[in-house]
Amino acid sequence: MAAAVAAACLAGCSASTPADTVGGSVPDATSAASTAAPSTPLEVCSAILDDRDAATFTAGRDAATDVVLATIGSDTPPTSADRAEWHARLISARTELSVERDRLEQADTGQPAWAAIIAGFDATIDVLAARAAAVEAPGDPMPDALGIGEPYGFDAAPGELDPSYAGRDCEMLLSYPGPDAAARDFQVAAARTCTAIVERRASTDYAANVAQNLEIVAGLIGGETPEPTAAHLDAVRGLHDEWEQTLADLESVPTAHVPDAAAWEATLALPRQRTEMFADRAAALESGDAAAIEAAYDRERMRSTPGWEGWETVGLAGRDCRSIEA
C-alpha cells in the first residue's frame, strides 16, 4: 500500500500536505488590504522580505564571505580600497538587518521559533559588525574576523520549532535577498498571491480532499475496480475548485514587470493542467463508469504533466510560492 500511495503522487499530489478547497480572490500589491500593517508573525516576515533591498543584502553577504576568503585563500594583503569597500557593504547590510530585527522584536510572540529567528539576526548582525571593525583596523584584519561564527543562518530552523513556519517566509529571512529592483512590483504581488493560496489551503479541506483522491489512485494501482463514494466525488470536485481558484489567483498577478514572461507562463501550466484533470476526474466519478474512471486517472498521462517550472526563474523560489502543493 505504501508503494501504491507513493506512486499515486504521479497522479496529482505532492510530497507536502497543506489543506484546502476554494477561497476568495487575492489582493494585488497596491490594494488597501495588501498594504495594511502586518498583524501576524507570518505577515511580518513576508512584509520584511517584500521591503528588503536586494542589492544591499547581497552586497553585505558577499562582503562577509570575501573578507574570509581574503584571509584564508590569498597571500596578497587586501588593499585599502578593498577594505573600504568591504567596510561600507558590511555596515550597510548590518544597518538594514538591524532595522528588520527591530520589526521582528516588535512582533515578538514569545515562542521558541520567534526567539530563534531573532537570535539568527543577532548573530548575523554581530558577525557583520565584527568583520567591519576588523577590515577598518590597521594591520592584518582577519584574526579578528574569523572564529566569531557564521552569518546568515538559524541555529534551529523556525519550521522545526513551530510547524506553522515550515516552508514559509519566516524560514527565508536570512536567505532571500529581496525582490529584484526592476521586478519588485511583480514579485511582491506574486509572493502575496502565493501566501494567500497557501493559507487558504491550510485553513480548509485540501489535505482531506487529496487523501480521498489518493484512495482511488491507490486502488487503481492495486488492480481494484473503482467504487467511488459520494465523499470521493465531493473531494475531487473540491480539488477542481481549488485549482481553478489557484489558477485565477495567479493569472490575476500584474505582469508588467515580470522578469521572464515565458517562465511565468510555464508556471501557470501546472494549475491549468490540474484544473482540467480534476474536472475530468469529477465527471468520470459522477458517471460511475469504471472505464471512464480508469481513463481519467491514467498514470501515463500524469507522467508527462508539468511541475512548478518557473518559481526560481521569476525570483520566487525563496517565497511562500515554493510551498504550494503540486
CA–CA separation, 153 and 163 (whole Å): 18
Q: Is 97 exposed, middle or buried (0-12, 13-18, 19+ CB in 10 A)?
A: buried
Residue-level pLDDT at 33:
36
Are 277 and 288 within 8 A, CB to CB?
A: no
| Residue 234 backbone dihedrals phi, psi, to 5 degrees | -60, -40
Of 117, 114, 113, 123, residue with least CA distance to 150? 123
> What is the tens place of the pLDDT at every residue in 237-279?
999 999 999 999 999 999 999 999 999 999 999 999 999 999 9
Entry pTM = 0.84
Residues of the chain with pLDDT under 50: 1-34
pLDDT of residue 26: 41
Q: How far is CA 148 from CA 62, 78, 153, 304, in A?
A: 17, 20, 14, 49
Q: Residue 39 has what pLDDT?
A: 77
